[in-house]
Amino acid sequence: MNQNSSHPSSMAILISGRGSNMCVLADKIASGELPANISFVGADREKAQGLEAARIRGLATRVFSYEELGRERAENNLIQALLESGSTWVVLAGFMKILSARFVAEFGGRIVNIHPSLLPAFPGVDAIGQALKYGVKVTGVTVHLVDRKVDHGPILAQQAVSITDGMDQESLEQNIHAVEHDLYWRTLKNLFEGRYVEYGRRRQLHE
């Protein structure tokens, strides 16, 4: 799985929403900072706002409508598209569908996710709201490989974000997203360039 810059890693990016992380990844590839290419941007619904941003950037887009097709058929189509595209990596960027055991078995070790908390704290939906409601003083961002449990798997990178007194959800979201937009592409670059070493559960960077 070691990659080198003469053979850029090919990644499919999966989104459900606005796709701001996907846009940063696309822009970092365009600027030459992230040695990779995007096979396609996939969404679970046509209404995902990020699809338009992907099209504007000239990226191939695919929709796998879970609502119209049902989960099994939609995911089968997604697996087929990933296999046909020869994608090395499946990069989740706000993809709101749970991946089946079959999906994880097919692409095991090659699926990456970003989550807006310091996992294992606050998995699942609205991690930012959960952290605020709980009253923690520090939350953050996690980039991890995906295993069969939700928001779970070997952690590649984490960065803390402080919650100051009186902070509202909007400003915490802004701070979290700013960290995500810097952390995701840097982590993927390290991953694609083969800089992570496996020590049991742990993934450590070596320079």
Using the rule CB under 6 A, give the single segment among 60-68, 80-88, 112-120, 160-168 that binds ligand GRF. Answer: 112-120
Residue 180 sits in the site that holds ligand GRF (CB under 6 A): yes
Catalytic residue, from 7, 115, 152, 177: name it. Answer: 115
**x/- track of binding to ligand GRF for residues 72-111 (CB under 6 A):** ---------------------xx-----------------
Backbone angles phi, psi at 199, to 5 degrees: -120, 90
Crossing angle between the packed helical segments 169-192 and 127-134, to the nearest 10 degrees: 130
**x/- track of binding to ligand GRF for residues 34-73 (CB under 6 A):** ----------------x-----------------------
Side chain identity at 203, as an amino acid letter? R
Quote the tokens at residue 144. Answer: 């991890």
Distance CA 125, CA 131 (A): 11
The answer to whether 113 and 144 are in contact (CB under 8 A) is yes
Residue 115 sits in the site that holds ligand GRF (CB under 6 A): yes
> Quick check: is 181 catalytic?
no
| Cα 181 from chain centroid (whole Å) | 11
Residue 129 sits in the site that holds ligand GRF (CB under 6 A): no
Distance CA 191, CA 185 (A): 10
Provide the minimum distance between the beta carbon of 4 and ligand GRF in the complex, in angstroms, as a whole number. 28
Any bridge partners for residue 63, and if so which? 43
Interface residues with ligand GRF (CB under 6 A)?
15, 17-22, 50, 93-94, 114-116, 180
